[in-house]
A and B are shown apart, each in its own frame.
Chain A
């Protein structure tokens, strides 16, 4: 491809200020679409195109009188069309996130998606009331959000800065006059959105302050005029263009203080569109003679004529021109492209490109060109890489890439990241520019839009497969890339009402699996919004985050599954949340039946009741026939000092409950305790002081014995069936306590002791009365004798007995207790040797 051909579509608007206009698509739409009869509007960033019939024009109408809105892709592929059944439209346009905005004459804004699906609607302001909307502007604010401004029939202007957060402001009003506004435009700067409005010759700036009176502005327009017919603001809101009825186009700063130029267009009527092309030039279009007039900031101009109507769409780096057959891009030639392709360019990139071309042709001149840029090879390669991003023609792309690749070979330490990244992006750009997708995005636009938003756009177009490929190709993190896309895909699947639930759930699960970053609850939530509750519940089965799962299930009033999922999660906090929610929402009976099916929930609720509501606790135990638990609760309460006055009835209830639960022994224990309590009270009463109440059977008996009331104790012991053994213990303990050694001896000589006589020794030793202890030692049973003689520190006797019993183990033990090298120790030693020898 020769340099001449490459620059054939270039034209000059001032020194080194090249522009170019080239076709991006041949429009694939119907032959019968003649833009002359339509109002068209295209979303920025190569978005979809919407058209409707221009009602001001008289043509033969087919079908009903209702307007039809048709939506096409950038390449002219029809996406949808639908009938407009609402109020008359004043203005139609796109938001930056590709929503179709309709502003109705009654002051309502209606939003549709690019598939014509109605999204929502809202009223701009109550203040508009009876006044009609006569004109509207859709604009982009500095945060890249879309706003709207409307003018009412009484020339009031209302403004919404951001459609996603619609807050309406009324702007200051014009000074009263009989004149009507001739043109107006929104200037949206950082924290200030204002309107520039012309009324014939007068020019005003309206601010976001109702009470501000606007001063008339006087731009420095040298050629006489009587009215400003049209105005336009540049993308960065710094420049404005004014078109006067004398045919002059005035370009200057948006504060009107600086004038760039004033150019005669030789046409005196109002252009159909006046649009800034980037921030460098202004394009005016007159439908009457289908003329496109381009004026550079320094006054140079260029004119194009079309054979039918066109429609202009501003982009940040140019203008898209839509005609019946073509979709073109008009832009300033990017600097780096200019440097490479400009005829007679001496930039390194240009030489490298030449070198590469010659190399392809196997010409030796390749070497000459390489030599020319040897010093600047790196820059040359970078220029080629940068330039390739701006090109739409794949042949040109290849040419530049080849040059870059060729140049790279001569640089030893070239970092190829940039090269690789550019090629990746290029592939992505080419893929979305494909007429099938029809998004004619430029490199600059992609940078501005971000890759994530591009993915979102593909997702909106249901191009999930392509989006997935791109995400993987660009190595985007999963939550921004593949997971994000899959979730949207799943949401789409879910919203298709004709698909069978079981299949949808399965298909989704198969595709998504447990991929990180996938939120099944998000998908399920969509399903539920689409009225597919069952599907939502099925999908929630796959949600790995229990808290999300449970929350949504509760919203869906799927109480039982919510509870069961909460329990599965193991997070009892979640279970409590469900329990408390359910108790709030459900009738008490239903609630109890629901949770009793889940032992864990039941247990947790019981625990909760123990803290908060003993009444409810008891009810559960009754419901569950858990008599044991009832009884325990009663006993627990009976032990509570604060409830001492209820003790009897609580113990009676406990006994009753045990009896119902066939725990007769426990029941009789309670009965016994009640009986004991009453007996103790009578004792205390007699005594005139609290001594017995609260004591156990054992303690009571001991107290009786200690107060030397053996008769009562005997009676008590029989009544409470204290076993013989323990009663003996009590007797000797009390006697030792009273230090009534005589009585103790008498007692020991009575019946034969059921606990043997070792305890007698113990008890005496406990009281440090070795003398008494010795009395009982002989009566200690044979097997314990040695041990007790040792206990009583009668080591010599112990040794003798052990020797008699031929018990070496015990002898060794005695020995360990003897002071070493004592006579006793020797004696024990001799016993041991004797026994050893006898063996």
Chain B
């Protein structure tokens, strides 16, 4: 088991605690049903729960079968219990209903249970009653798992609808859940004595945290005087920085996500690049995708994930050289050296394997990044970010539309142009709209309307916020090195994530006081509070690094994580960042979650 969570430890805040808590929680729920059991997973959960308890653990607790939750009857299974583990979503309740109906018709003597993650919902239970299966369900439990551990410094709630629900639908359900996640973190790691935040959602979440804290304190009379392990929390409402997710990520991990998609620390690559030439020609290919787990348990990955992709190639070839020197010239060694060498050999071989994997991945990426398509898009993006030609319809975008390139890709660029021009000229927006509807059909109008509603598309108004922000926060940097960066802007090659600039300022003397004017330009209220904490055990000595929890409400990108890591790795930095998010996103997945296509 130790190896399973080793990548979660190492920071000042031990993230493996989250894993252990959740796993124990799940196990104690499973133990309520004795005998062999089948778990039916809500698809959005099977992956994240894997981060908590692998199948082996579940099998130890007599989980013999696992099925995805689908709107059709369950496969045959000789079990005593069927447990549905699901998010409280209405359409999933219908699936549960169909499953139970079909299965119980088979007259098997099974017990059915529903575990909601992380919270029961009245509407879902009503729905189950309405379908007429509520009576057949034995246990309705809550699997209180608000956060999933991704790495020693990253946790995520893994809910992709958060941003859409609180902006577009004005539904605060997930803000409440976010607040509960923060309460949970405070329970594990002690109260947080300093709060920063920007944006309406940040304000609302923190208000709810305060409220829940009070409610909780009211029920628990004996609370241990926990010391604070987290010194500050910074809540960032994604609405405050919509630019960053739209810009293409240029870090290694970011690019993997942009091109191949990373889900629950796992990515799939075209298998060709991973095979030797003989293997490639042989026809016995069982799979067409290579699955690779990407987290800091892989030391090489930990070294390169945050680098700009342009620095990765050189790094990998240097590694390759070291390994080959280690492996070569075995002849001229003494017996002593030989012994040492043999001892180290397994490690070296592991390294070699990792190296070959990442070299293959890098090749896959390079194929894409060298394409004109990618480069042209990037160039357009960077022009926008530098406020070049933002006020008229972009010929490049027009070309993309004319070629009927994927709608989301086009919208991503239009949205970026819109933000960087602080709103589009009415004529330009109108033109884009017409073009989009003519090419992609009337459904494009629905997508556009949604983007307008969340503020990603809008008409230019008086002030040019972006122009001011760009200067004040140094959002675009010229001449930054991609190989030996000195500023966070390396993660997008020219653009420094606005969100991370805010985080950067928090750690500096004077905090956000310096930013008064800038903060006024960003939407929503500003939080700068020091909640009263019983028995201020909080103050740790000022020499120890400060742990700052940055909580992204509405999602965060890998590039943002890399930028934050970069900040804490600076020599003069006395900060360690812990990143929490409602979902790990990139521009495409972000827009898709909004327009629901």
Contact A570 B446 (CB under 8 A): no
Contact B218 A516 (CB under 8 A): yes
Q: Which residue of chain A is the closest to B124 with respect to CB atoms?
A: A573
Q: Which residues in chain A, 774-829, are within 8 Å of chain B measured between CB atoms? A: 791
B176, B437, B445: which contacts A572 (Cβ < 8 A)?
A: B176
Contact A570 B175 (CB under 8 A): yes
B372, B401, B433: which contacts A665 (Cβ < 8 A)?
A: B433
Contacts A600-B172, A603-B169 given; does A516 touch B221 at CB 8 Å: yes
Contact B221 A545 (CB under 8 A): no
Contact A516 B219 (CB under 8 A): yes
Cα-based distance from A696 to B439 in the complex (angstroms): 6
Contact A628 B438 (CB under 8 A): no
A571, A669, A791: which contacts B442 (Cβ < 8 A)?
A: A669
Contact A698 B438 (CB under 8 A): yes
Count of chain A to chain B residue pairs whose CB atoms are closer than 8 Å in the complex: 123
Q: Does A84 contact B (CB under 8 A)?
A: no
Q: Does A554 contact B (CB under 8 A)?
A: no
Instruction: Please classify the interface of chain A as helix (H, G, I), strand (E, B), loop, or mixed, using the class held by over half of its residues.
Output: helix
Contact A791 B435 (CB under 8 A): no
Q: Which residues in chain A, 690-746, are within 8 Å of chain B measured between CB atoms? A: 695-699, 720, 722-723, 725-726, 729-730, 733
Contacts A570-B208, A570-B211, A571-B176 given; does A670 touch B221 at CB 8 Å: no
Contact B402 A569 (CB under 8 A): no
Q: Does A273 contact B (CB under 8 A)?
A: no
Contact B176 A722 (CB under 8 A): no
Contact A570 B123 (CB under 8 A): no
Q: Which residues in chain A, 496-521, are within 8 Å of chain B measured between CB atoms? A: 514, 516-518
Q: Does A268 contact B (CB under 8 A)?
A: no
Q: Which residues in chain B, 106-123, are within 8 Å of chain A measured between CB atoms? A: 119-123
B126, B169, B172, B445: which contacts A669 (Cβ < 8 A)?
A: B445
**Cβ–Cβ < 8 Å partners of B443 in chain A:** 635, 639
Q: Which of A57-65, A181-189, A446-454, A604-612 contacts its partner?
A: A604-612
A571, A611, A726: which contacts B435 (Cβ < 8 A)?
A: A726
Contacts A516-B220, A726-B402 given; does A607 touch B372 at CB 8 Å: no
Q: Which residue of chain A is the closest to B121 with respect to CB atoms?
A: A573
**Cβ–Cβ < 8 Å partners of A464 in chain B:** none
Contact A603 B170 (CB under 8 A): yes
Q: Does B217 contact A (CB under 8 A)?
A: yes
A721 to chain B, nearest CB (A): 8
Q: Does A88 contact B (CB under 8 A)?
A: no
Q: Which residue of chain A is the closest to B443 with respect to CB atoms?
A: A639
Q: Does A14 contact B (CB under 8 A)?
A: no
- Max chain B CB contacts within 10 Å: which of A573, A580, A636? A573
**Cβ–Cβ < 8 Å partners of A477 in chain B:** 221-222
**Cβ–Cβ < 8 Å partners of A695 in chain B:** 441
A774 to chain B, nearest CB (A): 18
Contacts A544-B215, A599-B170 given; does A628 touch B402 at CB 8 Å: no
Q: Does B173 contact A (CB under 8 A)?
A: yes
Contact B446 A632 (CB under 8 A): yes
Q: Does A29 contact B (CB under 8 A)?
A: no
| Chain B: number of interface residues, binned into ranges | 35 or more
Contact A576 B221 (CB under 8 A): no
Contacts A479-B221, A572-B176, A729-B403 given; does A635 touch B215 at CB 8 Å: no
Q: Does B398 contact A (CB under 8 A)?
A: yes
Contact B449 A628 (CB under 8 A): yes
Cα-based distance from A785 to B439 in the complex (angstroms): 29
Q: Does A280 contact B (CB under 8 A)?
A: no
B380 to chain A, nearest CB (A): 14
Q: Which residues in chain A, 592-637, are within 8 Å of chain B measured between CB atoms? A: 599-600, 603-604, 607-608, 611, 628, 632, 635-636
Contact A635 B446 (CB under 8 A): yes
Q: Does A112 contact B (CB under 8 A)?
A: no
Q: Mark B154-186, 1 if CB is under 8 A from A, else 0.
A: 000000000000000111110110010000000
Contact A636 B218 (CB under 8 A): no
Cα-based distance from A599 to B437 in the complex (angstroms): 31
Cα-based distance from A577 to B120 in the complex (angstroms): 13
**Cβ–Cβ < 8 Å partners of B433 in chain A:** 665, 669
Contact A570 B204 (CB under 8 A): yes
Contact A722 B449 (CB under 8 A): no
Q: Does B363 contact A (CB under 8 A)?
A: no
Contact A611 B204 (CB under 8 A): no
Contact A514 B401 (CB under 8 A): no
Contact B402 A729 (CB under 8 A): yes
Q: Does A666 contact B (CB under 8 A)?
A: yes
Cα-based distance from A46 to B13 in the complex (angstroms): 58
- Max chain A CB contacts within 10 Å: which of B207, B211, B221, B404? B221
Q: Which residue of chain A is the closest to B212 with respect to CB atoms?
A: A570
**Cβ–Cβ < 8 Å partners of A723 in chain B:** 435
Q: Does B440 contact A (CB under 8 A)?
A: yes
**Cβ–Cβ < 8 Å partners of B298 in chain A:** none
Cα-based distance from A725 to B435 in the complex (angstroms): 11
Q: Does B45 contact A (CB under 8 A)?
A: no
Q: Does B279 contact A (CB under 8 A)?
A: no
Contacts A577-B122, A665-B433, A726-B398 given; does A696 touch B440 at CB 8 Å: yes
**Cβ–Cβ < 8 Å partners of B211 in chain A:** 544, 546, 568-570
Cα-based distance from A677 to B434 in the complex (angstroms): 17
Q: Which residue of chain B is the closest to A603 with respect to CB atoms?
A: B170
Contact A572 B171 (CB under 8 A): yes
Cα-based distance from A755 to B403 in the complex (angstroms): 13
Contacts A517-B221, A546-B215, A608-B123 given; does A636 touch B446 at CB 8 Å: yes
**Cβ–Cβ < 8 Å partners of B399 in chain A:** 729, 755, 759
A690 to chain B, nearest CB (A): 16
B220, B401, B449: which contacts A726 (Cβ < 8 A)?
A: B401
Cα-based distance from A720 to B438 in the complex (angstroms): 9
Q: Does B303 contact A (CB under 8 A)?
A: no
Contact B372 A791 (CB under 8 A): yes
Contact B430 A545 (CB under 8 A): no
Contact A572 B214 (CB under 8 A): no
Contact A604 B438 (CB under 8 A): no
Q: Does B74 contact A (CB under 8 A)?
A: no
Cα-based distance from A695 to B441 in the complex (angstroms): 7
**Cβ–Cβ < 8 Å partners of B173 in chain A:** 572
Q: Does A23 contact B (CB under 8 A)?
A: no
Contact A611 B90 (CB under 8 A): yes
Q: Which residue of chain A is the closest to B376 with respect to CB atoms?
A: A787
Contact B446 A607 (CB under 8 A): no
Cα-based distance from A639 to B446 in the complex (angstroms): 11
A684 to chain B, nearest CB (A): 17
Contact A698 B445 (CB under 8 A): no
A514, A698, A755: which contacts B214 (Cβ < 8 A)?
A: A514
Contacts A514-B214, A604-B171, A698-B404 given; does A725 touch B398 at CB 8 Å: yes
A577, A611, A665: which contacts B430 (Cβ < 8 A)?
A: A665
Contact B218 A635 (CB under 8 A): no
Contact B440 A635 (CB under 8 A): no
**Cβ–Cβ < 8 Å partners of B204 in chain A:** 570
**Cβ–Cβ < 8 Å partners of A608 in chain B:** 123
Q: Does A831 contact B (CB under 8 A)?
A: no
Q: Does A673 contact B (CB under 8 A)?
A: yes
Contact B172 A725 (CB under 8 A): no
**Cβ–Cβ < 8 Å partners of A514 in chain B:** 214, 217-218
Q: Does A347 contact B (CB under 8 A)?
A: no
Q: Which residue of chain B is the closest to A520 with respect to CB atoms?
A: B218
Q: Mark B194-220, 1 if CB is under 8 A from A, else 0.
A: 000000000010011001001101111
**Cβ–Cβ < 8 Å partners of A604 in chain B:** 171
A–B Cβ pairs within 8 angstroms, 7 of them: A516-B218, A570-B207, A576-B123, A604-B171, A636-B446, A639-B442, A669-B442
Q: Which 4 A-B pairs have the closest CB atoms?
A: A603-B170, A729-B402, A698-B439, A697-B438
Apart from A611-B90, A669-B445, list 4 A-B contacts with CB within 8 A.
Answer: A477-B221, A478-B221, A544-B211, A569-B211
Q: Which residues of A contact B (CB under 8 A)?
A: 477-479, 483, 514, 516-518, 544-546, 568-573, 576-577, 580, 599-600, 603-604, 607-608, 611, 628, 632, 635-636, 638-639, 651, 665-666, 669-670, 673, 695-699, 720, 722-723, 725-726, 729-730, 733, 755, 759, 791
